[in-house]
Structure 1
Amino acid sequence: MTRAAIVHAHGPFVGTRSFGARDRRHFLGRRSETEELVRSWSRHRLTVLHGDNGVGKTSLVDAGAVPALTDRGSTVLPRGELRFDPAFPAAILPGQNPYSRALLALWSPAEFPTHGPGTSITDYLRTHESTDRQGLPRPVFAVLDQTELLLRRSCAPEPVRRDFLDELLTAVEHRPDLRLLLTVRTQHLDELRRLVDKREVDHAEVALAPLTADTAAEAVTRGLALGGSRTAARDAAALVGLAGDAAPSSDPSRVRGASVGPAFLQFLGRALWEAAEGSRAPLVPDSGADVDRVLTGRLTEVLAEVADEHLVSARVPLDWLRAVAAAGARGVGRPAREEPGNALTPGVVHALEDRHLVTANRDGSAYLLCHPGLAGPLAALSPFGGGRPSDGGGFDPLTAARAAHTRGETELAAAHARRALAARPAPAPRERALLTALLGDLAFERGDHPAAAGYYADAARQREAVGDGAAVSRLLVAEARNRLMAGERSAGLTALAAAEGRVHHDPSLRAGIGQVLWLAGQGNSALDVLEGAMVGGGGITEARRTRGQIRAEQGAAAPDGGRG
């Protein structure tokens, strides 16, 4: 989409998503905050950017700081949402932290899944270091956004999440060229501080506050003027007047009206822009009822998205949001708890929080609406269904399944995968194979090795049918490990032999083959394969670790203790 088309589609408003690099022209009102963040990020090995829910941390990074750094020639590693990827089955190198593997896939997508998997964060940075003209290490800038996803209560195993953060902070300690930025909601700042304080690392904190009313009005006025509006100042004043008490805060006693929450400003602005598009009416209708009607329509869409993602009726998030609004009207927060017969889950609540509809108190025990102006539209919503992904709207069951898997909601991930595989028309071959492999990953993680082997074998046949030999090799190694762990030695060795005959330039897979050979009792063959994996530049950490374990085992088994 061209810049002109983007402006025509939603004006200066991005809606429920954050600003990105392509929206840089419309990311206004944050110049000083951008300069402060770039300065801190450049000077310290670790920078923590914190602020309340919906204050614009991700936008400040993606549309402010990152473009500013790239403009001056700095190396900034790609950023995105962590997602487990079944393209590299979990059973190949189960010893690697899955969040670490997901992060390296983001940082270096061209190397996934052949070289990145099986390598630690520190080893990745060591093998990708560069120097300037004076031979000094060139700083590498990296960001982990929404770190609260790894800190808050969730279904994902806490030790796995904490081990990942520990590995990331270890890399900050050991790699002087790394400049890491973590963004986190203020609600989880103390918990993150406890992890950081255990480290001997130079770090700084940058706090991000909501926009002042004056700054918000100026930013919206400039944004509307860029789109050719002749009534920009009037429309901006009216919009900021509606959003002026929208400061999301974990402190219910905060005086409202003194600041503007960027998330609600963008949500409301996008809805009103689209409603007014093609008419000569002002951006903000004179009637409050008309504003509520626009918000009601947009809330319907958002709640349907949440319902689709979590396979529940849209009444589930709607009823809970209404309860949150009622509790807020009484001056108290609404607890987020599962009730008998209610499909409300922590995942549903977090989805509403991540869409900036609710905000939690300091300990996450109770919630308030991010903006009291949402109460009226929520009350006006008519009962509606949901819970079955719509035919349109861009819903992607594979993306939903991967996201649920990453959050630790394994039953939901499996339900999305099975529903998609049973859908008509059937998924495309590649998507079908990935969904099947994801079911294999889930079975492997719960220890059901016969089922995992079956899913991996099925996915391998699907990949074979479309001529994707590299993917077939990975799936065969995953199958082989599970056959061996299920006691099916002959079938496991057969799958492994088939995979070995296909491997070419895939060092990460070689590391996995070495591990499976060791599992099969073929230590010397495993050592040969692992040496080749380390030469190939992929799977370095896992290959080196496994080699050390095999040598230690062989040394302990020798009559003289391995000496001689």
Structure 2
Amino acid sequence: MTRAAIVHAHGPFVGARPFRAQDRRHFLGRRSETEELVRSWSRHRLTVLHGDNGVGKTSLVRAGAVPALTDRGSTVLPQGELRFDPVFPAAILPGQNPYSRALLALWSPSEFPTHGPGTSISDYLRTHESTDRQGLPRPVFAVLDQTELLLRRSAAPEPVRRDFLDELFTAVEHRTDLHLLLTVRTQHLDELRRLVEKREVDHAEVRLTPFAPGTATDAAARALALAGSRTAARDADRLVHQARTARDAGAQPCPPKDTVEPALLQFLGQALWEQASASGTALVPDAESEVDRLLTERLSGVLSEVADEHLVPPEVPYAWLRAVAEAGPRGVGRPACEDPDSELTPGVVHALEDRHLVTANRDGSAYLLRHPRLAGPLAALSPFARGPSSASGPDPLEAARAAHTRGETALAAEHARRGLGRAAANPRERALLTALLGDLAFERGDHLAAAGHYADAARQREAVGDGAAVSRLLVAEARNRLMAGERSAGLTGVAAAESRVHADPSLRAGIGQVLWLAGQGSSALDVLEGAMVGGGGITEARRTRGEIRAEQRGTSGQGRN
């Protein structure tokens, strides 16, 4: 299929997701913003890109700045969302910050899980540095997207989140080759500033704002023309008019907005394009009620997705979002969504915020409707109607991993259990879901339950011949057996793992720690030395080796006394 055919097949709009590097041809209207971001990112060790939710920060990075840097030969580390991964069980190297491990898995997916786990961010950069023809360090460009997820109130332990940011900022201070870009919502900018100002690092801020109407119209017209539209200019003008239209929950017209929100433009544009393609009609219907009907249908699908991800009835997000729309500029206060006994959990509210349906007011005391254009379609929404969403619901493993990363452990466990109950789950997925249950049990201190889950996952992996995964699970099980007082079973497990492990320095670091936990310091030192030679897990291996040697020196000194 030619590029033109691909463009036509997928349409000119990406919908609710961000633009990616492969979408750069359709990423229009942000040329000056891209140039400004590339300039700041190149000149400063730390750059903060901020703006409201849905303004297009992720798209600007992935489809704008990153391709521009790679075009000129710069080294840009991969980007994406942080996710905890049960492929490397948490019980192997529990001393490493889980967000650091997730970041290194993102930066270097080809090395995970054999080399990245157990290595600090600074050590990773040191072992991956390169030089130019003059022998000078080549700049490395890295991104931490959606930093607000680490700053906002959530179920994830705050000390763990703050320790991760501290480790990341320490790397920026010490690694002169690192150019780090953080994206964050403006409502969390002051909090991020307080963390940055404690550091001696050159930094800059770049603000991203919505489109001016003329810019939005030009970008939409060019995208439509690329997709083969013969009425691109007229359709773009009508599309932007719809995006600027505002009505309150009572269907009363409001003055049109003087800016155009990129997320709404893409959401509305994709919905209209898909309907027009299917029916052979004009992109924007003449009747505004038809546009409202289509938006109502799409919003129903979004709320169904949120409900499925958080395992609540669809009427839960619907009722709250309807209340937000009806409240108008007053908004709905935070206490309404922070009742621990309510099905309307902070996670549900955050999901609606992340989908650009609501936003916090200036002082963060209340939530407002993000796009006044959606007030009317929301008023027509039925809590029992399900729009176009995945018929089978969210992928259980991805939903469980996402909930685990957010700190919503009970939700993660329930997704994992439901995934294991599905007949369609393949052996690898079942093993990962079981290992994730082991991680959750380990984190809450239920070591016997964790050991049982890891043992089950190891048997599932063994059945499909994945020996490397079996070794990791055996080490995770062994640590938990030891911590539960089952020393013999723990030693048997770690011995079985040690006989299997080969080119896996991160796992060797974990084996060394488990041997030390079992009181076998000398054997642990031998294993840790091998881990450090392999180049992975070096930080945890080095730290553990130092602690063992200090312990041995202390024991030796006591003996002489």
The bucket for the TM-score relative to the shorter chain is: over 0.9
Q: Distance in 1 between matches of 2:90 and 2:5?
A: 41
Change (3 A) 1:161 1:364: same
Name the residue aligned to 2:412.
413
Name the residue aligned to 2:95.
95
Change (3 A) 1:239 1:49: same
Deviation at 1:506, TM superposition (A): 0.4
SS in 2 for 1:182: strand
* CA displacement 1:452-510 (0-9 Å, x = unmatched): 00000000000000000000000000000000000001111111111011011000000
1:481 counterpart (476, 479, 482): 479
Give the conservation status (yes or no) of the 8 Å contact 2:8–2:228. Answer: no
SS in 1 for 2:29: coil
SS in 2 for 1:238: helix
Change (3 A) 1:30 1:510: same
Deviation at 1:4, TM superposition (A): 4.0
Q: Distance in 2 between matches of 1:561 and 1:13?
A: 74
Q: How does 1:35-114 map to 2 (within 5 A)?
A: 35-114=35-114
TM-score (norm 2): 0.95
Q: Distance in 2 between matches of 1:354 and 1:562?
A: 62
Q: Distance in 2 between matches of 1:551 and 1:513?
A: 17
Q: How does 1:160-175 map to 2 (within 5 A)?
A: 160-175=160-175
Q: Distance in 1 between matches of 2:245 and 2:547?
A: 60
Which piece of structure 1 moves more, 336-345 or 480-489? 336-345
1:552 counterpart (543, 550, 553): 550
SS in 2 for 1:116: coil
Q: Which runs of 5+ in 2 are unaligned?
A: 247-253
Name the residue aligned to 1:209.
209
Deviation at 1:245, TM superposition (A): 5.8
2:447 counterpart (443, 446, 449): 449
Name the residue aligned to 1:249.
none
Q: Distance in 2 between matches of 1:555 and 1:42?
A: 48
Deviation at 1:281, TM superposition (A): 2.3
* CA displacement 1:291-348 (0-9 Å, x = unmatched): 01110111111111111110111111111110000011xx301124245864100101
Identity of aligned residues (%): 81
Q: Distance in 1 between matches of 2:340 and 2:528?
A: 52
Change (3 A) 1:255 1:113: farther
Q: Distance in 2 between matches of 1:502 and 1:396?
A: 32
Q: Distance in 1 between matches of 2:168 and 2:263?
A: 29
Change (3 A) 1:278 1:562: farther
SS in 2 for 1:559: helix
Give the conservation status (yes or no) of the 8 Å contact 2:244–2:373. Answer: no
* CA displacement 1:249-295 (0-9 Å, x = unmatched): xxxxx996111110011011111111111444221111111001110
Name the residue aligned to 2:130.
130
Which piece of structure 1 moves more, 287-296 or 9-18? 9-18
Q: How does 1:246-325 map to 2 (within 5 A)?
A: 257-325=257-325
Q: Distance in 1 between matches of 2:438 and 2:362?
A: 38
Deviation at 1:363, TM superposition (A): 3.8
Number of equivalenced pairs: 551
* CA displacement 1:74-103 (0-9 Å, x = unmatched): 000000100000000000000000000000
Give the conservation status (yes or no) of the 8 Å contact 1:555–1:561. Answer: no
Change (3 A) 1:403 1:257: same
Name the residue aligned to 1:251.
none
Which piece of structure 1 moves more, 236-245 or 90-99? 236-245
Name the residue aligned to 1:183.
183
Q: Distance in 1 between matches of 2:476 and 2:15?
A: 42
Q: Distance in 2 between matches of 1:483 and 1:363?
A: 49
Which piece of structure 1 moves more, 226-235 or 194-203? 226-235
Name the residue aligned to 1:437.
435
SS in 2 for 1:501: helix
Q: Distance in 2 between matches of 1:426 and 1:523?
A: 45
Deviation at 1:228, TM superposition (A): 1.5
Q: How does 1:390-409 map to 2 (within 5 A)?
A: 391-392=391-392, 395-409=394-408
Change (3 A) 1:428 1:76: same
SS in 2 for 1:301: helix
Name the residue aligned to 2:233.
233
Give the conservation status (yes or no) of the 8 Å contact 1:417–1:439. Answer: yes
Q: Distance in 1 between matches of 2:541 and 2:244?
A: 56
TM-score (norm 1): 0.95
SS in 2 for 1:86: coil
Change (3 A) 1:341 1:386: farther
SS in 1 for 2:415: helix
AA matched with 2:524:
A
Q: Is 2:118 the partner of 1:118? A: yes
CA RMSD of aligned residues (A): 1.9
Give the conservation status (yes or no) of the 8 Å contact 1:316–1:342. Answer: no
* CA displacement 1:502-541 (0-9 Å, x = unmatched): 0110000000000000000000000010000000000000
Give the conservation status (yes or no) of the 8 Å contact 1:457–1:475. Answer: yes
Q: Is 2:366 the partner of 1:384? A: no
Q: Distance in 1 between matches of 2:560 and 2:238?
A: 80
Name the residue aligned to 1:19.
19
Q: Distance in 2 between matches of 1:420 and 1:232?
A: 45
SS in 2 for 1:109: coil
Change (3 A) 1:255 1:100: farther
SS in 2 for 1:204: strand
Change (3 A) 1:138 1:245: farther
Deviation at 1:450, TM superposition (A): 0.2
Give the conservation status (yes or no) of the 8 Å contact 1:463–1:472. Answer: yes
Give the conservation status (yes or no) of the 8 Å contact 2:416–2:436. Answer: yes
Give the conservation status (yes or no) of the 8 Å contact 2:77–2:142. Answer: yes
Q: Distance in 2 between matches of 1:491 and 1:280?
A: 68
Q: Which runs of 5+ in 1 are unaligned?
A: 247-253
Which piece of structure 1 moves more, 144-153 or 228-237? 228-237
